[in-house]
């Protein structure tokens, strides 16, 4: 208290002794975050709690029955043979998406960071898919990836017979990853570009005087300095990759086999197509747990991969 | 509940802040507003439906009906989401494949008494075959308002250009069989166009292959729905035939190939006759409509159905049932049949059908439509169809490759869906 | 930035970028050109880069078949309200998390961050029930309230916090000496400096709202209330088959204005981001 009062600058007009700066600040802080916090409680935490509640029930929507079954849905989760395959597909999809997305975004950002005439036009064009409606984008790619679609038509002019993209397990996975990356890589690209432009130019000049080759400059100066951005974009991209749904629904419907059935799509099938809302809720809880653990792990790793924090 | 109050408080606070207007209609207390979910957003359809609704309003001034178009592909999903959220519509269209789920769940209001009591309704003229899927314990739970036979549309220009025999010639010679149909399709495919397209199948919605494998007498499960018959000989033979047609003879466009018959790019397509409206008006080609070819099990026909059901949970279920009775009475059925062929016997004559299907000839109507509706079976359905469908689909992917082991895959499918069928 | 680039390297860079551009530009080009092709040409193989036959009626049909202008307005005003609302909420919260010390700040921040982690598919059913009880189904409220206050705004709060953390403390101390309270410091000092961060929040939020697909499908049921992505799926023929060319025409109409706004404002956007806390 004494310390606080000592610090108390003449806060102006009518400050009663009770309203120390610390107290005023606490109140102000709570008021500032109140709308967001209430929103999170109402629109995230309560629904999440309800989803957990559903997951303890067998809920037949059509027959309108809602029976408490305890951990039965969770036992079903352990015994679900398809789930392993689904989790495998999810891991491949997310890993592939993050790696391809971040490396392409970084490559594009480095290219766009060059001082070239007309670079703004390229920047706009690389970003343009971000503003195209996801549904339209996916439908168009669905056409292009057909066996007799645009991609194979293009390959044929080079004398290559293209694969049946959406029908082979490997190429189907590659296709859904690539379609998603081209749609959204523009966002990460812009974030990286901003980060690159924030790197002090003097550092490069110093390195050049020392005779460091361009690649070394990139590894020693650029990468460490933009590492916070890499961390942020990788978190956003991983979390986003676990939520990809419409693309799978339009392009492959999870096939061939279960090869592109990622967890969100599986959840959607169970809850909305098969009407197993109880089991769907259990899968929701699983998805939430996976996302939370991954994010926590990345956050913990930041000390090792991020070289400094602003 | 607490969150409700919080929500409302938040909303009020925002309402003061915001100056934007929001939709939402206030209703008078005694007025009844019925809502029907449908999967068509077609203007002509909606115009007709609204006419029927205003016709109903004449006798029931306090009742108004609104139609809610949900996207076709996600229709059942969107409908069950509404039901799960406690916002079930009063009436809903139902696909034949999910019919069992709705009919057996108790979600629907029984219609038999209302329909029988309606004046001049004459429910008896609707054949038992047509109502079978929608009936449980002798009660009709949804009315099959659309009964549309599957048939083969033919592009004679392409077939003649390829020097092959047209279906009409084969029918005249009495050898309109699957073997010959595939031979013609293969000849056209060799010329660079598409052969025979099973429309809507896309190597995913395998239930559309029923239009082929019924010719072998094949069926995915037994009549009582309890036993898997995918691995039985008829199905194995039929799928081996289809596999051969796709990968060896190239008569059926393979997976991942888009060929549109109605754009003039394929020799033949199997689809419902109502798709005749998709035939091109500009740059038309010489087309024909013929029954499905004979399979090894002889002649057969297949119909697609759609039903209207009344939701049990609605406050106005009785009024809604009255509306369904009005909407599907003989007079309105006649109007509806220009888009949705009726299963009423009185409407199944060539004169009436000619009026509602001006594109078809007398002969086509008799051979395809009338005999199709009279003798046709319905596509397979089952309780929990969506899950079974998905399970079969993901396994059948192994069949749709050149070097597939068809019998082994079918065994595997039966192993997987067997427990689901018994449930 | 590196010094001058040799002419040969320039050619190489341009060439590389042009090749990389193909998958970004071709689908959009195909969408725009196919929207004026007759439907039979859409499936032509190999695909036509330039339409050989024109059918401009697709664009008038877009407006005939649905209340497209109304749907355009719905999408636009919802996105605008959500953007402004999110900017207010997230800048306040972001400022508090970055600059104000208050009890449990870290714990609260962690709770708020939870919102980043939850896919909308997970909570859509309970949210639907809540809004139904509040009588807000088939209104635009869910599409406005959830993004502003719920999970989607958390990313914006995070961006704002990262920005405000970098503000020098001296600015605020000087303001305090001048007798300004917290709210005044926020509105008069911090916010004006935060314009670049706010700009990027605005763009992210607008795009998110503009492209929202699952929520409108679940919450809205009458054509007059639809938003654009949802309306796109409604261009179907009598039997549910999509009318491709009309759908593509409508898709083109929804993409072009946003694209034009981005082309005009992209310099501010990119340079704005360079000054936010998202940089290195």
- CATH code of the domain in which A290 resides: 1.10.3720.10
Q: Is residue A45 part of a domain?
A: yes
Q: Model-level pTM greater than 0.80?
A: yes
* Whether residue A300 sits in one domain with residue A157: yes
Written as six digits, the tokens of A57 are 């029930």
Q: Is the model's pLDDT at B85 over the cut of 80?
A: no
Residue A16 has what pLDDT? 57
Domain limits for position A170: 72-305
Contact A149/B80, CB-based, under 8 Å? no
Contact B400/A167, CB-based, under 8 Å? yes
Residue C138 has what pLDDT? 84
Q: If pLDDT is split at 50, 70 and 90, which confidence band does B294 have?
A: very high
B185 exposure class (CB count in 10 Å sphere: 0-12, 13-18, 19+): buried
Chain centre distance of CA A211 = 39
Q: Which of A246-250, B31-35, B53-57, B387-391 has the lowest mean pLDDT?
A: A246-250
Per-residue pLDDT tens for B315-325? 899 999 999 99
- Residue C43 distance to chain B (closest CA, Å): 7
What is the tally of structural domains in chain A? Answer: 2
* Whether residue A84 sits in one domain with residue A116: yes
When pLDDT is averaged across residues A244-248 and rounded to a whole number, the result is 82
Query: Count of residues for chain B?
Result: 423
Per-residue pLDDT tens for C41-54? 776 666 677 888 88
Q: Is residue A115 part of a domain?
A: yes
Is some CB atom of chain C closer than 8 A to the CB atom of B68? yes
Residue A11 has what pLDDT? 45
Q: If pLDDT is split at 50, 70 and 90, which confidence band does B270 have?
A: very high
Q: What's the angle, vertex CA B146, arms to CA B144 and CA B152, rounded to 5?
A: 135
Question: C267: closest CA among A112, B272, A222, A290?
Answer: A112
Element (H or E) spanning B303, and its range?
A: strand B302-310
From the list B4, B20, B283, the residue facing C77 with the nearest CB is B20
Residues 49-88 of C with CB under 8 A from A: none
Residue B1 has what pLDDT? 34
Taking the C-alpha atoms of residue A268 and residue A274, their distance in angstroms, rounded to an integer, is: 9
Taking the C-alpha atoms of residue A142 and residue A183, their distance in angstroms, rounded to an integer, is: 13
Domain map (residue ranges) of chain B: 29-147+304-369
Question: A169: closest CA among C71, B331, B400?
Answer: B400
Contact A29/C89, CB-based, under 8 Å? no
Per-residue pLDDT tens for B8-28? 333 333 333 332 333 333 344
Question: B271: closest CA among B280, B281, B261?
Answer: B261
Per-residue pLDDT tens for B208-254? 999 999 999 999 999 889 999 999 999 999 999 999 999 999 999 99
Half-sphere exposure of A289 (CA within 13 A, CB side): 8
Contact C121/A264, CB-based, under 8 Å? yes
* Whether residue A116 sits in one domain with residue A6: no
Q: What is the mean pLDDT of chain A?
A: 84
- Residue B423 distance to chain C (closest CA, Å): 27
Contact B85/C221, CB-based, under 8 Å? no
Which carries the bigger pLDDT value, residue A205 or residue A281? A281
Is some CB atom of chain B closer than 8 A to the CB atom of C223? yes
Taking the C-alpha atoms of residue C167 and residue C194, their distance in angstroms, rounded to an integer, is: 9
SS3 B71: coil
Describe chain B by its helix, strand, coil percentages, rounded to 5: 45, 15, 35
Taking the C-alpha atoms of residue B63 and residue B227, their distance in angstroms, rounded to an integer, is: 46
Q: Is residue A56 part of a domain?
A: no
Taking the C-alpha atoms of residue B280 and residue B282, their distance in angstroms, rounded to an integer, is: 6
Chains that contact A by 3+ CB pairs under 8 Å? B, C
Q: Is the model's pLDDT at B58 over the cut of 70?
A: yes
Q: Which among C84, C240, C242 is the top mutation candidate for probing chain B, defined by the most B β-carbons within 10 Å of its own β-carbon? A: C240
From the list C95, C118, C271, the residue facing A44 with the nearest CB is C118
Q: Which CATH class for the C66-274 domain?
A: mainly alpha
Q: Which among B390, B391, B402 is the top mutation candidate for probing chain A, defined by the most A β-carbons within 10 Å of its own β-carbon? A: B390
- What are the residues whose beta carbons fall under 8 Å from the beta carbon of B49, sequence distance 6 or more? B36, B38, B65, B67
Closest C-chain CA to B19: C81
Q: If pLDDT is split at 50, 70 and 90, which confidence band does A303 have?
A: low
Would you write out chain C's pLDDT as a tens digit for each of its 280 residues? 444 678 888 888 899 999 999 999 988 888 888 888 887 777 666 667 788 888 888 898 889 888 999 999 999 999 999 999 999 999 999 999 998 888 888 888 888 888 877 777 788 878 988 888 888 888 999 999 999 998 889 989 988 888 888 888 888 888 888 888 888 889 888 898 888 788 888 888 988 898 888 788 778 877 788 998 888 877 766 555 667 788 889 888 888 888 887 778 777 766 666 555 444 3
* Whether residue A264 sits in one domain with residue A227: yes
What ipTM was reported for this prediction? 0.84
* Whether residue A261 sits in one domain with residue A141: yes
Residue B183 has what pLDDT? 96
Fold of B29-147+304-369: D-Maltodextrin-Binding Protein; domain 2 (3.40.190)
* Whether residue A203 sits in one domain with residue A130: yes
Q: Is residue A67 part of a domain?
A: no
Map tokens 């679609």 to a residue.
Answer: A149
Residue A272 has what pLDDT? 77
Q: Is the model's pLDDT at A5 over the cut of 80?
A: no
The total of other beta-carbon atoms located within 10 Å of residue B72's CB is 19
Contact C118/A120, CB-based, under 8 Å? no
Residue B17 has what pLDDT? 33
Is some CB atom of chain B closer than 8 A to the CB atom of A142? no
The residues that bridge with B37 in the sheet, in sequence order, are B68, B92
Per-residue pLDDT tens for A45-94? 999 999 999 999 998 877 778 899 989 999 999 999 899 999 999 999 99
- Residue C96 distance to chain B (closest CA, Å): 21
- Residue C107 distance to chain B (closest CA, Å): 22
A81 exposure class (CB count in 10 Å sphere: 0-12, 13-18, 19+): exposed
């Amino acid at each position: 208290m004494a310390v606080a009062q000592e610090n108390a600058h003449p806060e102006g007009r009518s400050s009663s002794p009770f309203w120390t700066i610390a107290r005023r600040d606490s109140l102000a802080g709570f008021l500032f975050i109140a709308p967001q916090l209430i929103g999170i409680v109402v629109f995230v935490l309560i629904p999440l709690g309800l989803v957990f509640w559903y997951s303890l029930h067998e809920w037949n929507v059509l027959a309108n029955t809602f029976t408490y079954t305890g951990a039965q849905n969770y036992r079903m989760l352990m015994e679900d043979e398809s789930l392993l395959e689904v989790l495998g597909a999810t891991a491949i999809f997310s890993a592939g998406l993050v790696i391809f997305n971040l490396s392409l975004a970084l490559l594009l950002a480095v290219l766009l960071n060059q001082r070239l005439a007309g670079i703004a036009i390229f920047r706009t064009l690389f970003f343009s898919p971000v503003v195209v409606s996801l549904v339209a984008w996916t439908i168009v790619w669905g056409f292009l990836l057909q066996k007799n679609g645009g991609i194979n038509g293009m390959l044929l002019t080079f004398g290559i017979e293209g694969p049946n993209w959406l029908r082979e397990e490997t190429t189907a996975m590659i296709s859904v990853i690539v379609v998603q990356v081209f749609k959204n890589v523009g966002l990460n690209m812009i974030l990286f570009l901003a980060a690159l432009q924030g790197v002090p130019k003097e550092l490069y000049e110093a390195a050049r005087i020392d005779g460091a080759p361009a690649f070394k400059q990139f590894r020693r100066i650029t990468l460490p300095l933009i590492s916070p951005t890499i961390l942020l974009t990788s978190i956003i991209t991983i979390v986003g990759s676990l939520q990809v749904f419409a693309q799978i629904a339009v392009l492959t419907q999870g096939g061939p086999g279960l090869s592109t059935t990622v967890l969100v799509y599986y959840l959607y099938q169970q809850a909305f197509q098969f009407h197993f809302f109880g089991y769907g809720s259990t899968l929701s809880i699983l998805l939430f747990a996976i996302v939370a653990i991954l994010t926590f792990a990345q956050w913990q790793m930041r000390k090792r991969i991020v070289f400094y924090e602003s | 509940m607490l969150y409700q109050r919080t929500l409302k408080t938040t909303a009020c606070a925002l309402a003061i802040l915001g100056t934007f207007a929001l939709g939402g209609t206030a209703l008078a207390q005694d007025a009844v507003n019925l809502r029907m979910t449908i999967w068509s957003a077609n203007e002509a359809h909606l115009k007709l439906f609204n006419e029927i609704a205003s016709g109903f309003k004449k006798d029931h001034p306090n009742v108004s009906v609104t139609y809610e178009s949900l996207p076709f592909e996600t229709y059942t999903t969107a409908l069950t989401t509404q039901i799960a959220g406690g916002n079930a519509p009063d009436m809903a269209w139902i696909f034949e494949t999910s019919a069992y789920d709705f009919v057996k769940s108790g979600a629907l209001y029984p219609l038999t008494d209302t329909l029988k009591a309606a004046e001049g309704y004459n429910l008896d003229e609707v054949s038992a075959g047509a109502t079978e899927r929608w009936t449980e314990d002798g009660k009709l739970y949804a009315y099959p308002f659309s009964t549309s036979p599957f048939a083969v549309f033919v592009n004679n220009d392409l077939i003649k250009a390829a020097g092959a025999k047209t279906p009409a010639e084969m029918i005249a010679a009495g050898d309109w069989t699957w073997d010959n149909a595939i031979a013609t399709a293969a000849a056209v495919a060799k010329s660079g166009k598409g052969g025979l397209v099973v429309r809507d199948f896309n190597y995913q919605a395998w239930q559309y292959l029923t239009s082929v494998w019924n010719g072998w007498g094949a069926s995915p499960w037994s009549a009582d729905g309890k036993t898997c018959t995918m691995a039985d000989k008829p199905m194995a033979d039929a799928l081996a035939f289809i596999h051969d047609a796709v990968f060896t003879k190239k008569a059926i466009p393979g997976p991942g190939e888009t060929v549109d018959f109605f754009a003039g790019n394929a020799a033949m397509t199997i689809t419902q006759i109502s798709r005749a409206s998709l035939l091109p008006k500009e740059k038309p080609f010489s087309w024909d409509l013929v029954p499905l070819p004979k399979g090894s099990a002889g002649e057969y026909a297949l119909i697609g159905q759609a039903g209207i059901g009344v939701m049990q949970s609605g406050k106005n279920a009785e009024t809604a049932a009255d509306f369904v009775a009005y909407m599907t009475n003989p007079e309105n059925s006649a109007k509806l049949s220009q888009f949705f062929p009726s299963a009423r016997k009185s409407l199944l004559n060539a004169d009436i059908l000619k009026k509602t299907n001006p594109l078809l000839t007398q002969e086509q109507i008799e051979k395809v439509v009338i005999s199709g509706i009279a003798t046709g079976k319905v596509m397979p359905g089952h309780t929990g169809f969506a899950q079974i469908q998905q399970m079969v689909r993901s396994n059948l992917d192994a069949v749709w490759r050149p070097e597939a082991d068809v019998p082994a895959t079918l065994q595997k499918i039966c192993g997987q869906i067997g427990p689901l069928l018994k449930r | 930035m590196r010094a001058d680039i040799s002419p040969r390297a320039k050619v190489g860079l341009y060439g590389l970028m042009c090749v990389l551009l193909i998958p970004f530009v071709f689908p959009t080009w195909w969408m725009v050109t196919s929207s004026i092709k007759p439907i039979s040409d859409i499936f032509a193989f190999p695909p036509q880069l330039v339409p050989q036959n024109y059918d401009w009626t697709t664009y008038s049909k877009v407006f005939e078949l649905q209340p497209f202008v109304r749907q355009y307005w719905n999408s636009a005003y919802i996105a605008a309200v959500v953007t402004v609302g999110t900017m207010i909420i997230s800048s306040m919260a972001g400022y508090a998390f970055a600059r104000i010390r208050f009890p449990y700040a870290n714990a609260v921040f962690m709770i708020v961050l939870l919102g980043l982690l939850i896919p909308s598919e997970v909570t859509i059913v309970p949210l639907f029930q809540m809004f139904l009880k509040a009588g807000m189904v088939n209104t635009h409220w869910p599409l406005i309230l959830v993004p502003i206050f719920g999970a989607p705004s958390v990313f914006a709060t995070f961006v704002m916090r990262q920005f405000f953390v970098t503000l020098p403390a001296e600015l605020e101390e000087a303001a305090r000496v001048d007798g300004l309270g917290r709210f005044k410091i926020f509105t008069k000092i911090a916010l004006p400096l935060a314009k670049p961060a706010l700009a990027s929040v605005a763009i992210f939020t607008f795009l998110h709202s503009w492209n929202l697909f699952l929520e409108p499908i679940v919450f809205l049921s009458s054509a007059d209330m639809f938003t654009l992505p949802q309306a796109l799926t409604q261009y179907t023929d009598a039997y549910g088959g999509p009318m491709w060319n009309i759908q593509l025409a409508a898709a083109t109409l929804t993409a072009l204005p946003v694209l034009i706004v981005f082309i005009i404002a992209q310099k501010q956007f990119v340079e704005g981001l360079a000054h936010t806390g998202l940089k290195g």
